[in-house]
Amino acid sequence: MTPIDTAAYRSRWRRYHPAVKGVLCGGLLACALMLPPWPAAALVAAATLGSAVAAGVPLGLMARAAAGPLVLIATSAAALLVSVGGAEPVGWAPGGPARAAEVAARASAALGTQLLFVLTTPVADLLARLSRTRLPAALVEVVALTYQMLMVLLGTAHRVASGQAARHGYRSRRAGLRSAGALGGVLFLRSLDRARRLQEGLACRGYTGRLTVLVDERPVPPVEWAAAAAPPLLVAALTLTSTALR
């Protein structure tokens, strides 16, 4: 189990219905993408961080998970600072800093809302309920089986790599390349074996094209829907009011 999955299972919001958390995170995401970036992006970021603290999400883990995407956002926004063509082959783009800041603010705020949902909602809880929607059952089952296979392969890769490192398999660049190649071969063979055994197990259990999962459903109180919708509505109201007063 990855640290993100562990945080999702330990979250104080685990007991809430995924749709409720979807209303909160989806509403904040819509605010980050559709409203004027100032002050919407800052308000969305503040609401996201406050929700993460309330849910018991480790902020250090959230920062580590956001590090890679934030680097991509920064490099993508930096491309807006320059223009190619015209009087000069390469030059500073007119209004480039403003556009770059707007794109970076929107993307960063949107990233935070998605991480909030991921860090508070286990994949198992989400997939079990997606099967009851109008999504094709085959699509949901493929996603579930792919996710399970990925978790198994990640665990296998970690154990094999740890064994190689204990045997000084990465003591030099040449040895590291050889160990990495052997690791890839082991993962390929074990993934094929795991897929074969999974297919045989499903066939022995009378698989008919649909995986039946027992889900403990409970009615969602209206107060939970209202609490989930309140932060996005508040962000939208504050942003529109601020824009109107300028």
My answer on whether 194 and 223 are in the same domain is no
My answer on whether 117 and 138 are in the same domain is no
DSSP state of 80: G
User: Residue 181's domain spans which residues?
Assistant: 132-204
Query: What's residue 59's pLDDT?
Result: 92
Query: What's residue 196's pLDDT?
Result: 86
In a domain, 79, yes or no: yes
My answer on whether 36 and 93 are in the same domain is yes
- 88 in helix, strand or coil? coil
Number of domains in the chain: 2
The pLDDT tens digits for 48-73 are 999 999 999 999 999 999 999 999 99
Size of the chain in residues: 246
pTM of this prediction?
0.80
The pLDDT tens digits for 2-48 are 888 889 889 999 888 888 999 999 999 999 999 998 899 999 999 99
My answer on whether 8 and 58 are in the same domain is yes
In a domain, 32, yes or no: yes
My answer on whether 106 and 139 are in the same domain is no
In a domain, 37, yes or no: yes
In a domain, 211, yes or no: no
Q: Which stretches within the chain are classed as H helix?
A: 3-10, 18-34, 37-55, 59-78, 96-118, 123-130, 137-166, 173-204, 222-245
My answer on whether 143 and 82 are in the same domain is no
Nearest-angstrom CA–CA distance, 110 and 224: 22
